[in-house]
C-alpha cells in the first residue's frame, strides 16, 4: 500500500542552495530525499509547498512524499532527523489522504521579511541590515496598491511559462524601535517575488522611487528593481 506522508520542516537556509534538488549541490529537498533513500531503500521525490531560494529560511515549510515503507511515522521522523544536518529539522509528520499535494493543495503562504536598522553580528544571518534612513509612513501609504490580485511578473524573476497573476491577501508592517518585519501572504509567489516587493518598498522609502511608480512596475516600465537579500526572508506558514 502506498502512503502519503506530510512533513512540517524548519531550516536555516544559509548553507543551502535553496529548497529544490540540484545535482552536486546541497539543498533541503536533496538532504531529505537522501535520508529517505537510506531509510526505505526507495527513490522518493519530496514535494515542497514552496521552492525557497538560496539563503532563504523556513519555520513552516510543508512537504509530502509517497512511500510503500511500513516504518512508523515516529521511526520515519527520527530516522530523517538523524540523517540530515543540524540546520534542517522535521518538526511534525503525519499521514494524509492520497489527494493531498503540498504545493497545489496550499491556499496561501505566509512569509516574513526581517529588517534591522542597527548592525548586529548575531542577527545578520536572519535579517537585512539597512544602514540608511527611509520613510516608513510613505511605504504604508503605497502598500494598499500592492495588495489584491495583480500580475506580479515584473516584481519577480519569472520565466513566463505560466501566469504571473497572484492574489496578495495581506501585506503589512510590524515596526519596533530597531526592527521592521514585512508580512507577505499570497495564494502563490513567483520566484524572488517577495524579495522584489521588499526591495521596491525600501527603495520607495529612501526616495529612489515615487509612489506612482508602483503602476510603472506592474506595467513593466521599470526594469531595474533591487531584490532584497535572501537572508531576511522566512517561510512562516502554509495554509491549507
DSSP state for residue 25 in the 8-state scheme: B
Q: Give residue for cell 505566509.
A: 110
Catalytic residue (one of 53, 97, 151, 213): 53
Cβ-contact 16, 87 below 8 angstroms: yes
Q: What is the DSSP string of 118-155?
A: S--TTTTTTSEE--S---HHHHHHHHHHHSEEEE-GGG
Q: In this structure, are residues 174 and 116 in contact, taking their beta carbons and an 8 Å threshold?
A: no
Q: Is the dihedral of CA 157, 212, 187, 115 positive or negative?
A: positive
Q: Is 87 a catalytic residue?
A: no
C-alpha cell at 17: 542552495
The residues annotated with a catalytic role in the active site are: 53
Amino acid at each position: 500500500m502506498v502512503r502519503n506522508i506530510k512533513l512540517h520542516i524548519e531550516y536555516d537556509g544559509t548553507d543551502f542552495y535553496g529548497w529544490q534538488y540540484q545535482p552536486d549541490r546541497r539543498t533541503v529537498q536533496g538532504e531529505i530525499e537522501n535520508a529517505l533513500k537510506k531509510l526505505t531503500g526507495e527513490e522518493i521525490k519530496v514535494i515542497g509547498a514552496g521552492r525557497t531560494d538560496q539563503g532563504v529560511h523556513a519555520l513552516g515549510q510543508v512537504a509530502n512524499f509517497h512511500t510503500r515503507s511500513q516504518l512508523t511515522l515516529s521511526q520515519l521522523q527520527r530516522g530523517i532527523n538523524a540523517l540530515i544536518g543540524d540546520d534542517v529539522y522535521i518538526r511534525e509528520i503525519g499521514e494524509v489522504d492520497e489527494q493531498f499535494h503540498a504545493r497545489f493543495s496550499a491556499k496561501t503562504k505566509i512569509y516574513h521579511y526581517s529588517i534591522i536598522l542597527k548592525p548586529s553580528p548575531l542577527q545578520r544571518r536572519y535579517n537585512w541590515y539597512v544602514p540608511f534612513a527611509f520613510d516608513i509612513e510613505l511605504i504604508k501609504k503605497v502598500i494598499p496598491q500592492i495588495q489584491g490580485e495583480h500580475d506580479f511578473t515584473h516584481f519577480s524573476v519569472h520565466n513566463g511559462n505560466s501566469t504571473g497573476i497572484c492574489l496578495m491577501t495581506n501585506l503589512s508592517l510590524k515596526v519596533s524601535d530597531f526592527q521592521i518585519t514585512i508580512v507577505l501572504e499570497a495564494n502563490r509567489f513567483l520566484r524572488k517575488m517577495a524579495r522584489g516587493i521588499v526591495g521596491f518598498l525600501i527603495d520607495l522609502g529612501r526616495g529612489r522611487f515615487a509612489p506612482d511608480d508602483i503602476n510603472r512596475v506592474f506595467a513593466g516600465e521599470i526594469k531595474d528593481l533591487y531584490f532584497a537579500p535572501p537572508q531576511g526572508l522566512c517561510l512562516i506558514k502554509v495554509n491549507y
